[in-house]
Amino acid sequence: MSRTTNVDLCVIGAGSGGLSVAAGAAQMGARVVLIEKHKMGGDCLNYGCVPSKALLAAAHAAETIRRSGRFGVNGHEPAVDFAAVNRHVHGVIAGIAPHDSVERFEGLGVDVRQGAGRFVGPREVMVNDETIRAKFTVVATGSRAAIPEIAGLHGVPYLTNETIFDLATAPERLIVLGGGPIGCELAQAHRRLGVAVTLVTRRGVLPKDDPECGNVVARTLAADGIELVQHAETISVARSGNGIAVKVCQGEQMRRLEGSHLLVATGRRANVEGLDLDKAGIATYPAGISVDERLRTSNRRVFAIGDVTGGPQFTHMAGHQAGVVIRNTLFRMPAKAEKTAVPWVTFTDPELAHVGLGEAAARERHGDRVTVVRVPFSEIDRARAERRDEGFAKVVIGKGGRILGCTIVGAHAGELLLPWVLAIGNKLKIGAMAGVIAPYPTLGDISKRAAGAYFTPTLFSPRVKRVVRTLLAFA
């Protein structure tokens, strides 16, 4: 016999977004049931942000040894113990896992159900043999690797972000399909850990980012020794001895690429299967669940957050959306999700970080009222001292000095982006950034330099010189 449990909030999916909603609501006094059919922590902890950044940290360590000769230190090719690297990655996951565990969330007052949840009515979700009837339900089921329709692909072993972190032995040659953040990060990490890598992209490297900045990353990937096969269509995949053969069409040329392992990183797909959304009157579109500005689905008692909505697929975005849902459900406030000041970072070396409008989008929207300023890291003393002077900051400014967007490609770009997120989110003008006192010598000085560059043509114009000479004449 099934039983029915009445609660205030039912959350389906214990990834970053679902965990944030559940923890926040429970600690505010709501009765919450959290449903997870697989691993607590979701993709971010187990297959995404955490393991990839742990792997990148190992790769950066190897590269530091490799390039230390430029500082007069004994630089040499490091010996990489790939099995030990794998233990490091899983050790990091294990260290964070208790924070996302069933035990911790039950300690916070959340009732956790381990099983697959599915809708059986507008306000009812079935899990195992239990019906959860909730005042509000939140779908936070995330996404998974989208597997393209490529001839022969399903007949060969291939890796995704869910399986590549299980490798305890270094691949002899890794072929990566996909030039987005996942493909670029994992390609570079493996290359710097001593693996031969071929990266195949349909467009360029990081095609959703500013092309100038993406080209900086592409040059570094090539300098690392990654074979870049850009603007290529993957035709077929087949076994080749103990490895993999990939046939691609690059322009008018057909090429055969061979490797020992294949990583598919060609995009993400929302996890909506098995939820029986139709029984709750929840509409979908090709990218995921349709939501309004308040993250409500077509069933106003059901909200959806994170990757499952088909929007920006970032852990920090899911966390932001969790707060929006809590304000809407617990406090009945008509809170809306942020759309303008949404940052993202690709953690290659150099990093590429962006917020707001890119140059092309800004010019399309605002025409000739857009001003673009660029400051290279080579003009920043700290970058020169650390010999990390590749890349630049690029700021897009609109009418009246309004900051519209910023892209930074260079060392620690993700860390340097935050003041621009704050500025855009609060609709600040470029003068606010130009007026700050930047500590010297820091990489952060690049933001003040970029803001100052906007005023340079005016400050040092013939008109200002005439005004200064006139004022000095009466001094």
Residues 22-60: pLDDT tens digits? Answer: 999 999 999 999 999 999 999 999 999 999 999 999 999
Sequence-distant (≥ 6) Cβ neighbours of residue 252 within 8 angstroms: none
Q: Which residues of the chain have pLDDT under 50?
A: none
* 210 marked as part of a ligand binding site: no
Cβ neighbourhood burial of 65 (10 Å; 0-12, 13-18, 19+): middle
Question: Rounded CA gap, 256 and 240, in Å?
Answer: 11
Q: Does domain 3-145+269-329 have CATH number 3.40.50.1950?
A: no
Cβ neighbourhood burial of 293 (10 Å; 0-12, 13-18, 19+): exposed
pLDDT at residue 2, rounded to an integer = 77
* 72 marked as part of a ligand binding site: no
CA 429 to each of CA 104, 402, 405, 445: distance values in angstroms, whole numbers, following the listed order: 43, 4, 11, 18
* 307 marked as part of a ligand binding site: yes
* 121 marked as part of a ligand binding site: no
Q: Do domains 3-145+269-329 and 350-459 have the same CATH topology?
A: no
* 115 marked as part of a ligand binding site: no
Provide the token pair at 437: 């006192």
- Residue ranges covered by each domain of the chain: 3-145+269-329, 153-266, 350-459
pLDDT at residue 1, rounded to an integer = 58
Question: Rounded CA gap, 377 and 83, in Å?
Answer: 36
HSE-CB of 52 using CA atoms within 13 angstroms: 20
Question: Rounded CA gap, 443 and 462, in Å?
Answer: 32
* 225 marked as part of a ligand binding site: no
Question: Rounded CA gap, 100 and 23, in Å?
Answer: 10
Q: Do 296 and 103 form a contact (C-beta atoms < 8 A)? A: no
pLDDT at residue 441, rounded to an integer = 97
Question: Rounded CA gap, 158 and 262, in Å?
Answer: 5
* 184 marked as part of a ligand binding site: yes
Provide the token pair at 219: 């040059």
**Tokens 């002077």, residue located:** 389
Strands 344-346 and 351-356: antiparallel
Cβ neighbourhood burial of 332 (10 Å; 0-12, 13-18, 19+): exposed
pTM of the model: 0.95
* 274 marked as part of a ligand binding site: no
In this structure, the number of other CB atoms found within 10 A of the CB of residue 106 comes to 13
pLDDT at residue 391, rounded to an integer = 98
* 143 marked as part of a ligand binding site: yes
Cβ neighbourhood burial of 461 (10 Å; 0-12, 13-18, 19+): exposed
* 24 marked as part of a ligand binding site: no
Sequence-distant (≥ 6) Cβ neighbours of residue 77 within 8 angstroms: 66
* 183 marked as part of a ligand binding site: yes
* 122 marked as part of a ligand binding site: no
Question: Rounded CA gap, 261 and 217, in Å?
Answer: 23
* 452 marked as part of a ligand binding site: no
pLDDT at residue 459, rounded to an integer = 87
Please state which CATH number belongs to domain 153-266: 3.50.50.60
User: Can you name the CATH fold of 350-459?
Assistant: Enolase-like; domain 1 (3.30.390)
In this structure, the number of other CB atoms found within 10 A of the CB of residue 282 comes to 22
Question: Rounded CA gap, 432 and 419, in Å?
Answer: 11
